[in-house]
Structure 1
Amino acid sequence: MARRGIVLSLLLLLVLVGCGELGDASSDKAVVTRVVDGDTMKVELADGTKETVRLLLVDTPETKHPELPVQAFGPEAAAYAEETLSGENVTLHYDESKRDTYDRLLVYLHVNGVDFNKSLIEKGLARVAYVWEPNTERAESYYKVQQKAKQQGKRIWSIEGYVKETEDGGFRKDVEADKAKEEHSYDPFGADRDCSDFSSQKEAQHFFQEAGGSKEDPHRLDGSDQDGIVCEGLP
């Protein structure tokens, strides 16, 4: 009887492992200890191991590249990551390949149940990038989110030609953060504006998003359809 009990226990253990009851090997719990930039963070895993993580399938403009200037919307991406992630408990979800050539963990990072990688794309702070097999599980859904951000002219999409949509990708090196601020200066909460104040739909859309988007719309640029896309009659 004792031998039969041992066999049953082993069978139960195998079932639990197969069902994932003993832990999910495809994810880890961690605390964000430092934000390096918009797409790279330092974390401490639950077992005390310290790691550098690189967000999968996204690329934010550079802020600390040794050979590049601070790029437009790079500081905003880093500030958003700092505000959202610093000191927070997060879940690191892995795809098929767990590390890159720099030994960084490649992750879909979730904070408070929200996919942070995806939120960067939604806010126009990152482009979909480095879509390399086998780590492509969320690529399709990310591309859909990017298309919407592009149509609405959010942040990186507000500067014509800034995002290089070629095989090597990246951002135009000549568009620096300070230069972008000069070219896209505005006061969203100043004098009332209408579509005739803008030279293009992208310019109007950028203004609309920075003024609070559909939730605020203090200038009532979104029409009666309330679809989040403004001044659709502009070129």
Structure 2
Amino acid sequence: MNTFRVKLKYSTRCWLGLIVMILVATVGSCEAGPWVMVKWVADGDTIILQDDRHVRYIGIDTPEIDHNTHRAEPMAVEAQSMNRKLVEGWQLRLVCDQEKKDRYGRTLAYVYRSDGLFVNAELLKQGCAHVLYRFPNISKDKILLSAQRDAMESGRGIWQSVKKNEKRLHAYIGNRRSRRFHTYDCPMGKSISEKNRIYFNNEWIGFWSGYAPAKECIEFPKENKDHVKN
């Protein structure tokens, strides 16, 4: 009888452990849903699907287009055009991370084409976007940063206006928690605690390290009249 109870107890623990593992896997990861198609490309990092869902690409940021005023930041139209080229007419698979939606109600996703192309990373490779760290959605960060570095080394797109060896009088102040960097005189930068501070001699080093510019104090991308469209 004692042997039976021990076996039963051990078996119960195994089943409970298996159930917990399944629940953790389900909550901690996001399985791909059915194939979807694009109805409209809003800008470089946002699309509207045929079912009217708005999808915001995880881990990247592209220059903005204000559809109300019809004004666009430098390289914004090029980023939108590249996004359109990559996704229009293709079956797409959406894979989410820890958060499924942002504060605007948009679906957050890594987007893959039916031929396996990782759209988020490809936009980075083409120099149409930069990495945007946002915890807890960080499962593809290494892949995305590698794609950005490829574009930086080749000087594609937005990276034509960022000087690798630029010398500045004051270093940029980075925040290790948010992975944003600020100008030395930015109030938000000055409020960063010492333990979370990191300094970058120029923008290039900040981007190469996987940080993004704080929009409150840094205009990016800058206008580059000599840039070549991709």
Common fold by TM > 0.5: yes
Q: Deviations over 1:100-142 (max 9, x none)?
A: 001100000011211000000111110001x122110001121
Instruction: Supply the distance in 1 between the matched residues of 2:90 and 2:83 (Cα, whole angstroms).
Output: 11
Q: Deviations over 1:44-74 (max 9, x none)?
A: 3xxxx43100000001111226689422221
TM-score (norm 2): 0.59
CA contact (8 A) 2:157 2:227 kept: no
Q: Counterpart of 1:221?
A: none
Instruction: Supply the distance in 1 between the matched residues of 2:125 and 2:220 (Cα, whole angstroms).
Output: 23
Q: Counterpart of 1:35?
A: 41
The reply on whether 1:114 has 2:117 as its aligned counterpart is yes
Instruction: Supply the distance in 1 between the matched residues of 2:220 and 2:142 (Cα, whole angstroms).
Output: 27
Instruction: Supply the distance in 1 between the matched residues of 2:137 and 2:221 (Cα, whole angstroms).
Output: 31
- Name the SS for the 1:114 alignment partner: coil
Q: Deviations over 1:154-193 (max 9, x none)?
A: 11010136888566435726834xxx3x3346xxxxxxxx
Aligned match for 2:144, one of 133, 142, 148: 142
Instruction: Supply the distance in 1 between the matched residues of 2:212 and 2:148 (Cα, whole angstroms).
Output: 17
Aligned match for 2:222, one of 152, 159, 175: 175
Q: Counterpart of 2:6?
A: none
Identify if the C-alpha distance between structure 1 residues 134 and 174 changes in structure 2 by more than 3 Å, giving closer, same or farther: closer
- Name the SS for the 2:77 alignment partner: helix
User: How much does 1:88 deviate?
Assistant: 2.3
Aligned match for 1:99, one of 86, 90, 101: 101
Identify if the C-alpha distance between structure 1 residues 25 and 168 changes in structure 2 by more than 3 Å, giving closer, same or farther: closer
Instruction: Supply the distance in 2 between the matched residues of 1:67 and 1:140 (Cα, whole angstroms).
Output: 36
The reply on whether 1:152 has 2:154 as its aligned counterpart is yes
1:117 is aligned with what amino acid?
Answer: N
- After TM superposition, the runs of 4+ consecutive aligned structure 1 residues lying more than 2 A away are 63-69, 160-176, 182-185
Identify if the C-alpha distance between structure 1 residues 159 and 54 changes in structure 2 by more than 3 Å, giving closer, same or farther: same
Instruction: Supply the distance in 1 between the matched residues of 2:212 and 2:32 (Cα, whole angstroms).
Output: 30
Aligned residues: 161
2:127 is aligned with what amino acid?
Answer: G
TM-score (norm 1): 0.58
Flag structure 1 segments of 5+ consecutive residues without an equivalent: 1-13, 186-205, 211-235
User: How much does 1:148 deviate?
Assistant: 2.2
RMSD: 3.4
Q: Percent identity?
A: 25
Instruction: Supply the distance in 2 between the matched residues of 1:173 and 1:69 (Cα, whole angstroms).
Output: 15
1:1-235 pair list within 5 angstroms: 26-28=31-33, 29-44=35-50, 49-64=51-66, 69-111=71-113, 112-129=115-132, 131-160=133-162, 165=207, 168-169=213-214, 172=219, 175-176=222-223, 180=224, 182-184=225-227
Identify if the C-alpha distance between structure 1 residues 184 and 124 changes in structure 2 by more than 3 Å, giving closer, same or farther: closer
